[in-house]
């Protein structure tokens, strides 16, 4: 993997593949560049793909204290490595980080592709607790990494308790435990956008072309989020992926890549 150095000295590791316009992939919570590799492979036929480990994950380092603005600086460093301008693809909470980066980095972000930003803006599901980030951090500080992942799965993902036991039996649980210390990072990125209240008008001053994708079979909150966001962004469009759900970036990378490429045309 190659590396860039962010403004605070954090080393950000990434892979680069393909040809065409630069596209930076921003992973969701509890994911690293390996999880996005199948999608990166599909996209590399049309883009020069920069698939990176967000700070604190994989081969990237970390610097305390955490601030969401530092992750925007990480993306800024990757854009500089890509020649000064890039497209951003973000999944789930990574889509919200991509939004924040586009809002702050101006013309260096030329286009946005967002897969299911997980806003909770109505009563389609219960809000994330107000002390969510604080509780996650307390679990990590106590060395309770598995409990932190369980809390994330229950409160942020909204997974019923009877299913979490099955999740623990899957090897992916160990992967999430290894990244548990970064779960609060995504909670900070989401901020108050999972509180059950409408998105704030004017929060993002983004006028670049933006594609907001949802899975046909995904929960109502993702469709509600996409509709709300497209009302706030003047050049945004929505697209539903037939037969897909929130796992499409991993389970249906060919379908996601086709939607991205079609929007590019």
Pick out the chain residues at pLDDT < 50.
none
Cα distance between residue 24 and residue 168, in whole Å: 31
CA distance linking residue 142 with residue 42, whole number of Å? 40
- d(CA 132, CA 184) in angstroms, rounded, equals 8
The predicted pLDDT at position 179 comes to 95
Domains of the chain by range and CATH? 2-120+200-264 (3.40.50.1820), 132-190 (no CATH)
Q: What is the pLDDT of residue 264?
A: 78
pLDDT for 243: 97
Residue 171: per-residue pLDDT: 87
Write phi, then psi, for 261 (nearest 5 degrees).
Answer: -65, -40
Taking the C-alpha atoms of residue 120 and residue 22, their distance in angstroms, rounded to an integer, is 31
Q: Is the full-model pTM beyond 0.75?
A: yes
The token pair at 196 is: 């059950």
pLDDT in tens, 173-228: 999 999 999 999 999 999 999 999 999 999 999 999 999 999 999 999 999 999 99
């Amino acid at each position: 993997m190659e590396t860039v150095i962010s403004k605070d000295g954090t080393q950000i590791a990434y892979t680069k593949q393909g040809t065409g316009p630069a596209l930076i992939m921003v992973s969701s919570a509890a994911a690293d560049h390996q999880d996005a590799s199948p999608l990166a492979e599909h996209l590399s036929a049309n883009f020069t793909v920069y698939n990176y480990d967000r700070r604190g994950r994989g081969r990237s380092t970390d610097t305390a204290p955490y601030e969401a603005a530092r992750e925007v600086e990480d993306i800024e460093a990757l854009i500089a490595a890509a020649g000064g301008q890039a497209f951003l693809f973000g999944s789930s909470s990574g889509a919200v980080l991509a939004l924040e980066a586009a809002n702050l980095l101006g013309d260096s972000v030329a286009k946005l592709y967002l897969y299911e930003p997980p806003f909770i803006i109505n009563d389609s599901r219960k809000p994330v607790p107000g002390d969510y980030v604080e509780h996650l951090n307390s679990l990590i500080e106590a060395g309770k990494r598995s409990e932190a992942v369980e809390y994330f799965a229950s409160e942020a993902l909204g997974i019923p308790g009877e299913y979490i036991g099955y999740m623990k039996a899957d090897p992916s649980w160990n992967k999430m435990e290894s990244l548990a210390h970064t779960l609060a990072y995504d909670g900070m990125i989401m901020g108050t956008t999972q509180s059950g209240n409408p998105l704030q008008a004017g929060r993002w001053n983004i006028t670049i072309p933006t594609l907001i994708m949802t899975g046909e079979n995904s929960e109502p909150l993702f469709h509600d989020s996409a509709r709300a966001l497209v009302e706030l962004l003047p050049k945004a469009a929505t697209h539903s992926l037939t037969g897909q759900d929130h796992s499409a970036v991993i389970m249906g990378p060919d379908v996601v890549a086709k939607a991205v490429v079609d929007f590019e045309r």
